[in-house]
Amino acid sequence: MKSKFLRYLLMGLFVVGILVVTGCSDNSDTAGSDSGDSGSEQTDESSEERMHLRVFAPTFTTEPPTDDSPVLKKIEDYTNKKITMEWAPNSNIDDKFNITLSSGDLPHVMMVPGKSPSFVSAVEDGAFWELGSYLEEYPNLSQANEIIMNNSSINGDIYGIPRTRDLGRNGVIIRKDWLENLSLEKPETIDDFYNMLKAFSEEDPDGNGTDDTYGMVVSKYEGPWDVMQTWFGVPNKWGEDESGELYPFFMDDNYLESLNFFKKLYDEGLVNDDFAVMDPAQWSDPVISGEAGVQVNVLDEGHRIQEKIIDANPDNADPITVIKTVEGPTGLHNLPTSGYSGMLSVSKTSVKSEEELKQVLDFLDKMNDEEAQKLAENGIEGKHYEKVDGEYQSKVKDDPALQAEVDGFNQMLMYIPEAKSIKPDSSPLRELETQLKVENEDIVVANPAESYISEVYSKKGQQLDNIILDARIKYIVGQIDEAGLEDAVERWKSSGGTEYIEEINQLHQDAQ
């Protein structure tokens, strides 16, 4: 009796086991065939002849729009394509990109986060189309900014349409109410800048009678140091000497001077002393809460900070102002951004023929049209936004469900030749930010080596960068002195830096 029961039990278990195993293999089979012929198979009547495009894009929200979003339907109608979005969280987009690469099944259009070694090697292995020769046929794509195109190219070849951004986005965000309390002017030179930080730290700019403020907030993110050193005339990553040779920025004569300035700020307590460990996500908090008066960041953070200050204290109606840069010993300089944030590349595994490529490029081109930009960024008029007396009013702000239909499609936008979507009402501060971005373009320091792909750097870049960047932080906080700085440079050279310089110069000569 007992043994019989046991036997049935065992048989039952075994059957379940088999089912699990075969069930798994079945699933993977169907999944495989699904993705295999998804390009040709269309059940949707209205889109019978539409080309099916899979698009890999980052999402900043946990709930990106689904494929039945009405906005996506409109975009599909406008571009005459059938689109499936493949979202990946922006926080680990690099990992997701690499994993997608290694899966061998690349979506038609891929957002490439940057010119990472894995992207470059995939390009060398023929994973993506070279687009340079096709672009002139398309009304929008042909008008792309040449500097940005060059920056995003691989040694001059274009393997992706850059998602263009303002080149002159960097600036300085200042608490305007503090300036007014101390009757200071906006700083124009580095000395002014220093005096302002000093006053913000020591002269009680918020007028509450206690010594609870400091000058500038910096976080673990090292961007502000990069920006500020260009004020002193330090080149952007690579400088060019009289004979046309390229040299890395930290070998510039002005580099030490800029570091000494940073060190002075740190020693005198004008910068938060925990900057080397501060979480970048909290970077703006001290400015909002009135602990720090200055932040060197992208200009558009200015109005975000402003809105949060006003939210907390409506009486403080105009607390923020921005400037583009301050004048150093060699004039006005600012650090540009690369001018793009990732690019949209077309994979050769999904897009097999030139005809298909032209269809994809047609899609990318159309995404730059005004209507497509509005759809992807603002949504559908009347549903996601409306115009009241010609003024734009977003309706998604207080409606998460509605927001989830739009939020994220702007990741497919390249803004070539320019952004045409509707911007929310502009405040004086936003207008100032926009104006400064344009002015910045005249004073930004270009990186002559931006498009060069160095083999040494792709292998050891992270370690090389860390040697120099860590030394910079250590020098600022006083862990090492000038001799330690020189040691770091020597270590950089011996860890592959010397070959790196040679390689970059070789590429530079070839490009001339």
Partner 1 sequence: MENVHENKINSVGQQKKSKWSQILKEKWLYFMILPGLAYFIIFKYVPMWGIIIAFQDYSPFLGVWQSQWVGLEHFQYFFSNPDFLRLLRNTFILALYDLVFFFPAPIILSLMLNEIRLSAYKRTLQTFVYVPHFMSWVIIASISYVFLTTGGGLVNDLIARFIGTEVNFLSSPEWFRPMIIGQIIWKETGWGTVIFLAALASVDQEQYEAAIVDGAGRFRRLWHVTLPGLRSTIVILLILRLGNFLDTGFQQIYLMSNSLNRSVADVFDTYVYFVGITEGAFSYSTAVGLFKSIVGIVLIVGADRFAKKLGQSGLF
Binding site for partner 1 (CB under 8 A): 6-7, 10-11, 13-14, 17, 20-21, 94-95, 98, 101-102, 104, 106, 116-119, 121-122, 124-127, 220, 222, 272-274, 276-279, 458-459, 461-463, 466, 469-470, 472-474, 477, 479, 494-495
Q: How far is the CB of 189 from partner 1 (least distance, A)?
A: 29
227/476 with CB nearer partner 1: 476
291/300 with CB nearer partner 1: 291
SS3 assignment, position 472: helix
316/349 with CB nearer partner 1: 349
| Pairing state between β 340-346 and 109-112 | antiparallel
SS3 assignment, position 153: coil
Q: Which of 197, 209, 210, 204 has the alpha carbon at shortest distance from 294?
A: 197
Q: How far is the CB of 344 from partner 1 (least distance, A)?
A: 17
Q: How far is the CB of 325 from partner 1 (least distance, A)?
A: 25
For residue 37 the two structure tokens come to: 């012929």
Q: Which of 340, 351, 450, 350 has the alpha carbon at shortest distance from 134?
A: 351
Q: How far is the CB of 276 from partner 1 (least distance, A)?
A: 5
9/317 with CB nearer partner 1: 9
CA distance 243 to 245: 6
277/388 with CB nearer partner 1: 277
Sequence-distant (≥ 6) Cβ neighbours of residue 264 within 8 angstroms: 194
104/314 with CB nearer partner 1: 104
Q: How far is the CB of 476 from partner 1 (least distance, A)?
A: 10
Q: How far is the CB of 115 from partner 1 (least distance, A)?
A: 11
SS3 assignment, position 361: helix
Q: How far is the CB of 462 from partner 1 (least distance, A)?
A: 5
For residue 398, count CB atoms less than 10 angstroms from its CB and return exposed for 0-12, middle for 13-18, buried for 19 or more.
exposed
Amino acid identity, residue 364? L
CA distance 151 to 448: 9
CA distance 325 to 450: 22
In 10 A of CB 209, how many CB atoms?
7
Residue with tokens 């305007």: 176
Q: How far is the CB of 116 from partner 1 (least distance, A)?
A: 5
462/506 with CB nearer partner 1: 462
84/479 with CB nearer partner 1: 479
Which residues are 388's β-sheet partners?
391
CA distance 221 to 278: 8
